[in-house]
Amino acid sequence: MSSKSSVERTQVAWIAGVGASAGLGAALARRFARGGFAVALTGRTAQQLQVVASEIEAAGGQAHAFAGDVASEAEIHGIGQRVQALGALTFAAFNAASAVRAPTLELTVEQFTQAWRTSTLGGFIFGREALQLLQANGLDPRAPNGRGSLLFTGATAALRGKPPFAAFAAAKAGLRSLSQSLAREFGPQGIHVAHVVIDGGIDGERLRSNAPQRVEQAGEDGLLSLDAIAESYWQLHLQHRSAWTQELDLRPFKEPF
């Protein structure tokens, strides 16, 4: 019997920046697993990754935990080789960030550098690795939605900086510019690159743990739902190549813009 063609190979979704189960990275992994993808999870904490992977598998999906540092070229390349062995990479999402918060005169060089390393350098390293796998997935770039998608999670800070988020804003603005450059270079090759601006608080573990009063004040649907954000990423991935979105901003209906 002949082996499967590249088009028939398992489709793989690789998501970097997976942390708590009630976080965006995990929500993206669950959505793509429900869509029939084998999902590869990358984050700093192996234990958290394994929890998310086990939840996906318990729900009938396929998940693989690959812990690593997104700002390490060697680690991401090694993980990329393991991802490629799972099948054809057709979706990749960069969701990592370092939310450094400090008044500018108290902000250290180390903090500023860390924010840049995680969001900007990490986005470049992960994006470059993912793009090579998308190019090699064997899919026809002339297909309705091309070879696949590379999406970057952005933030309000990517569009306008304000204290005490100078480091975070600079890093996220750099990531946004990177996504624009990659979209212009790889879109003609059939790879959809997009940047998603999360303009508001996410109803997840981080906010519920650190600012429960904000959650209460937001009220019903006053924060971005994890599942709703993940569904937007899914729809971006399915877009026809004649009308690709390069940037999408998401915010709760209560936000006054």
pLDDT at 9: 85
Asked if 126 and 182 count as a contact pair (C-beta separation under 8 A), the reply is: no
pLDDT at 3: 39
Residues 108-119: what's their mean pLDDT? Answer: 97
What domains appear along the chain, each with residue ranges and CATH number?
10-250 (3.40.50.720)
More confident residue, 7 or 200: 200
pLDDT at 5: 42
- Read off the tokens for 248: 């999408």
In tens, the pLDDT along 151-199 reads 999 999 999 999 999 999 999 999 999 999 999 999 999 999 999 999 9
Give residue 112's identity as a one-letter amino acid code. F
Name the pTM for this structure. Answer: 0.94
Other beta carbons within 10 angstroms of residue 44's beta carbon come to: 15
Edge-to-edge strand list for the sheet holding 11-16: 62-65, 38-42, 11-16, 88-94, 148-155, 191-198, 247-250
pLDDT at 210: 83
Over the chain, what is the mean pLDDT? 94
pLDDT at 2: 36
Residues 57-75: what's their mean pLDDT? Answer: 98
pLDDT at 99: 84
- Read off the tokens for 164: 């005490």
Residues 4-24: what's their mean pLDDT? Answer: 84
- C-alpha distances in angstroms, 244 versus 123, 131, 148, 181, 190? 21, 17, 12, 15, 11
Residues 33-42: what's their mean pLDDT? Answer: 98
- Give the span between the Cα atoms of 180 and 195, in whole angstroms: 8
Is the pLDDT at 6 greater than 60? The verdict is no
More confident residue, 226 or 100: 226
pLDDT at 7: 42
Residues 87-107: what's their mean pLDDT? Answer: 95
Asked if 9 and 138 count as a contact pair (C-beta separation under 8 A), the reply is: yes
Is the pLDDT at 1 greater than 60? The verdict is no
pLDDT at 33: 98
In tens, the pLDDT along 130-142 reads 999 999 999 999 9
Give residue 107's identity as a one-letter amino acid code. L
- C-alpha distances in angstroms, 217 versus 24, 198, 213? 21, 19, 6
Residues 3-24: what's their mean pLDDT? Answer: 82
Asked if 252 and 214 count as a contact pair (C-beta separation under 8 A), the reply is: no
Confidence label for 82 from pLDDT (cuts 50, 70 and 90): very high
